[in-house]
């Protein structure tokens, strides 16, 4: 099985379900979006969280994908930056416990935190304090970090640091890795459209996006967006939630249906887990339809819980279902 290394924001998620969407407006956040905040604003939100029965779990987009892959038995690594604090130790211990080969750089700022509000429809709204995660620099990276891997998985939330992402991509390509990129969030795509286009044109082999991100990037609806993105890279994937997903490689387009879920609790990590399932299938040598089916399976499970922590029994069900998918 090919090895995958992820690079991303090492963030601890603080999650809270809210019964009334009005709190999103009250906190001056955009529902379904992401706002980057400073330490003072973080402390204000954490004070409000105390009355919300919030929970803390290791997070970050690439981190979620890599931990899910590790639980499935994949050989994975992760590069990130944390603070010298309790949250940093919490994050590192969670990765080590999962069997991930980690490269953590210690920064001078606190460990990053993603404050997440989950509304009754399962939508999540983020207020992210990136802390040390945002200080991951090009000079922190070495070619040695990428040796022995076949794929580099990059979360789009990192693209504000152009120099660092370009260095990671250059080093990965020099070591013969294929590069996978998740477009992250529609508002980040809007702000960094030109840079995303550069990455796709020059470095990226596989692109993951949801329909909103694909539209922000191309201005098109899912099928046309898929066609446009596929012109820039080897494999384009557009996820459409309950409406399934499209995959395109060359002239071949595949549509895979989603798994129906009656009770969506929290969509946090749905795209991250889809990517994990898809990449697990890809590195195991399965066909694209089966890769997407495995991705849909993982996404269907994670949206039935708050956050991205699945119980061991659920993972056993997932593994059993994967065996059924690949034996068909």
Mean pLDDT by 10 residues, the chain (328 residues): 94 88 88 88 86 87 97 97 95 95 96 91 88 96 97 93 96 98 91 95 97 96 96 97 94 94 87 97 96 97 90 97 94
Q: What is the pLDDT of residue 32?
A: 85
Q: What is the pLDDT of residue 253?
A: 96
Is position 41 within any domain?
Answer: no
Q: What is the pLDDT of residue 94?
A: 94
Bridge partners of 102, per DSSP, are: 78
Question: In Å, how far are 111, 167, 217, 302 from 210, measured between CA atoms?
Answer: 28, 26, 11, 16
Q: What is the pLDDT of residue 159?
A: 87
Q: What is the pLDDT of residue 16?
A: 86
Q: What is the pLDDT of residue 235?
A: 97
Is position 254 within any domain?
Answer: yes
Tokens representing residue 107 in the block:
């920064």
Is position 51 within any domain?
Answer: no
Task: Please tell me the distance from the alpha carbon of residue 140 to that of residue 162, in angstroms, as a whole number.
Answer: 14
What global pTM score does this model have? 0.91
Would you say 301 and 274 are in contact if contact means Cβ atoms under 8 Å apart? no
Q: What is the pLDDT of residue 328?
A: 82
Is position 316 within any domain?
Answer: yes
Is position 93 within any domain?
Answer: yes
Is position 297 within any domain?
Answer: yes
Q: Which domain holds residue 301?
A: 4-9+60-110+131-327
Q: What is the pLDDT of residue 273?
A: 97
Task: Please tell me the distance from the alpha carbon of residue 205 to that of residue 201, in angstroms, as a whole number.
Answer: 9
Q: What is the pLDDT of residue 86?
A: 93
219 CB contacts (<8 Å, ≥6 apart)?
none
Is position 265 within any domain?
Answer: yes
Residue 171: which CATH number? 3.40.1190.20
Is position 30 within any domain?
Answer: no
Phi, psi angles (nearest 5°) of residue 18 = -120, 140
Q: What is the pLDDT of residue 15?
A: 87
Would you say 79 and 96 are in contact if contact means Cβ atoms under 8 Å apart? no
Domain tally, the chain? 1
117 CB contacts (<8 Å, ≥6 apart)?
16, 18, 23, 24, 27, 29, 124, 125, 127
């Amino acid at each position: 099985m090919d090895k995958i290394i992820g690079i991303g924001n090492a963030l601890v998620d603080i999650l809270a379900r809210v019964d009334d969407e009005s709190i999103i407006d009250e906190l001056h956040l955009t529902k379904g979006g992401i706002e980057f905040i400073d330490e003072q604003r973080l402390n204000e939100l954490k004070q409000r969280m105390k009355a919300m029965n919030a929970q803390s779990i290791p997070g970050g987009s690439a981190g979620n994908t890599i931990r899910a892959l590790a639980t499935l038995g994949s050989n994975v690594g992760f590069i990130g930056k944390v603070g010298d604090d309790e949250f940093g130790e919490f994050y590192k211990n969670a990765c080590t416990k999962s069997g991930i080969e980690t490269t953590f750089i210690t920064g001078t700022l606190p460990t990053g935190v993603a404050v997440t509000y989950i509304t009754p429809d399962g939508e999540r709204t983020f207020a992210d304090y990136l802390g040390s995660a945002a200080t991951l620099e090009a000079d922190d990276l070495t070619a040695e970090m990428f040796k022995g891997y076949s794929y580099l998985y990059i979360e789009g939330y990192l693209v504000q640091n152009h120099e660092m992402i370009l260095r990671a991509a250059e080093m990965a390509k020099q070591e013969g890795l294929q590069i996978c990129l998740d477009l992250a969030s529609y508002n980040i795509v809007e702000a960094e459209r030109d840079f995303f286009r550069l990455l796709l044109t020059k470095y990226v082999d596989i692109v993951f996006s949801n329909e909103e991100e694909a539209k922000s990037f191309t201005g098109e609806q899912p099928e046309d967006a898929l066609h446009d993105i596929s012109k820039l890279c080897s494999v384009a994937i557009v996820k459409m939630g309950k409406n399934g997903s499209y995959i395109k490689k060359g002239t071949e387009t595949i549509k895979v249906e989603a798994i129906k879920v009656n009770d969506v609790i929290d969509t946090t990590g749905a795209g991250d887990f889809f990517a994990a399932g898809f990449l697990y299938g890809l590195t195991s040598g399965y066909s694209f339809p089966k890769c997407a089916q495995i991705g849909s399976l993982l996404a269907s499970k994670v949206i039935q819980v708050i956050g991205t922590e699945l119980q061991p029994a659920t993972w056993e069900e997932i593994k059993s279902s994967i065996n059924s998918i690949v034996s068909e």
